[in-house]
Structure 1
């Protein structure tokens, strides 16, 4: 007897926008259309960070849709309203594969439009790897506090060795969690994150941690293959990702059009900083994409 698949929250997927990935898992999707559902001038995929979900990104999508861009997103497998073991992955490249599948689905309906990626934190890692796999598909990418280099506090030889053992023996073992206070300087945003039922508030899984370290190693070893134009945005008070990642991208990527913007005093989620500061980030992000959208052939 077959049963109707439901989200982790118990909602039938027939009632939710989604696609089914190569592993047969339902991946929740979100779309923000330009005003009046007018024909878009470009497409932009938002890739969220670890433990969070795409519904948090309304404020990022708004100025883009106002500029005639159709914005879409999905909850990574194991996140938010998508299927999969919570915050676990057998292979980090599954995130990349699902991203490319989603892009292919959208571009099938909207062909011949410039396509941009926005990746935050882990989503930045996914965006870079997707752009390396499909260098001719993307017009540009904006990397918001991307995870490029492992955090030295969590990537010591001893800790990595233990994580690998746990990943093999107990892949769901939780070895550390994100403290909400490091997300933003805005108490309201910290509270929103800390009380969001779709956010994963427990520890990161051992297997996820090892797979992410492998992805970062892959990225670092092949950074010179990056050719897609990009803007990397980084807060200098971010303690969740290493800001040196922005420097390495600028030094090693082959992209002829590359730019780094450092925001003094900003924490990790630049787009969710205090309103007056987040507005600067969203202005810079939107301006960069709109300029290249207009320059695209």
Structure 2
């Protein structure tokens, strides 16, 4: 079961559910973060943390990864980032990826205390990939590996950034400042790439079809990271969320993820 810390029965999720009734952690800012855990059906072998993307929550990709990994002894866990899903915080306002990375490390520490001898992996998608990368840089050597799908390191709209943000701000009454901060944090993540020393596999989309995270960011990550064990695979004709692609493509992605995990746990083992 995911960690439950905090006893304030008056605190509720944005959906009106009391936090006293759902798994959660309380971050350093006193915000309640909703947690999820998907238990393995086999003997516990690894703990992959799922870091979801902007505008999503851990319940979107979590069940898909659990179905893929639970039968191999993987306990999948994660939480809704601040401002997302059933966690507290201003909706979709991510001013600092360091905060997301801090919360990831707090959750990881809780699970590491429970399972001190089990390897922990990071699995980040889009914005969550940036947060996972920062977390890995803050704790070099702590993670057994990292899988990133469509990490938002380079934005597909960078060239027309100000035009797009201004249009969205006017039409949808959103804050221009948020977009400026979000892209600024993406650039900050790029500067951390050379410090990354963790085995990882980056799944990225074909540049023509991913209108959110440009494939060039993943190539930067692959070329500049110091990791000796690193792979990159481009999936032609796929878009941003690889695990939600058409079955033919999504099954290929899932098999690649599974093969990578199993090989890192035991080089002699192959998925079946």
TM over 0.5: yes
Q: Name the CA shift for 1:114/1:155 in 2 (closer, same or farther; >3 Å).
A: farther
- SS of 1:46's equivalent in the other structure is strand
- Larger RCO, structures 1/2 (Cα 8 Å, 6+ apart): 1
Choose the corresponding residue for 2:64, options 36, 59, 67: 59
- The root-mean-square deviation of aligned C-alpha atoms, in Å, is 2.4
Structure 2 residue 37 is the aligned partner of structure 1 residue 45 = no
1:238 equivalent in structure 2: 210
8 Å Cα contact 2:9-2:20 kept in structure 1: no
- SS of 1:130's equivalent in the other structure is helix
1:290 equivalent in structure 2: 262
Q: Name the CA shift for 1:39/1:99 in 2 (closer, same or farther; >3 Å).
A: same
8 Å Cα contact 1:87-1:208 kept in structure 2: no
Choose the corresponding residue for 1:259, options 228, 231, 235: 231
CA offset at residue 174 of structure 1? 6.0
1:211 equivalent in structure 2: 181
8 Å Cα contact 2:45-2:118 kept in structure 1: yes
Q: What is the TM-score with the length of structure 2 in the denominator?
A: 0.88
Q: Name the CA shift for 1:132/1:203 in 2 (closer, same or farther; >3 Å).
A: farther
1:17 equivalent in structure 2: 23
Instruction: Measure the CA separation in 1 of the matches of 2:143 and 2:131.
Output: 13
Q: How does 1:67-86 map to 2 (within 5 A)?
A: 67-86=72-91
8 Å Cα contact 1:145-1:268 kept in structure 2: yes
Instruction: Measure the CA separation in 2 of the matches of 1:204 and 1:143.
Output: 28
2:197 equivalent in structure 1: 227
Instruction: Measure the CA separation in 1 of the matches of 2:221 and 2:170.
Output: 27
8 Å Cα contact 2:157-2:212 kept in structure 1: no
Q: Name the CA shift for 1:144/1:176 in 2 (closer, same or farther; >3 Å).
A: farther
CA offset at residue 294 of structure 1? 2.2
- SS of 2:76's equivalent in the other structure is strand
CA offset at residue 209 of structure 1? 2.2
2:270 equivalent in structure 1: none
CA offset at residue 6 of structure 1? 0.5
- SS of 2:60's equivalent in the other structure is helix
CA offset at residue 113 of structure 1? 1.4
8 Å Cα contact 1:87-1:205 kept in structure 2: no
Instruction: Measure the CA separation in 2 of the matches of 1:105 and 1:176.
Output: 43
Gaps of 5+ in 2: 1-7, 268-272
Gaps of 5+ in 1: 164-172, 178-201
Q: What is the TM-score with the length of structure 1 in the denominator?
A: 0.80
Q: Name the CA shift for 1:70/1:113 in 2 (closer, same or farther; >3 Å).
A: same
Structure 2 residue 146 is the aligned partner of structure 1 residue 102 = no
Q: How does 1:158-177 map to 2 (within 5 A)?
A: 158=162, 175=169
- SS of 1:137's equivalent in the other structure is coil
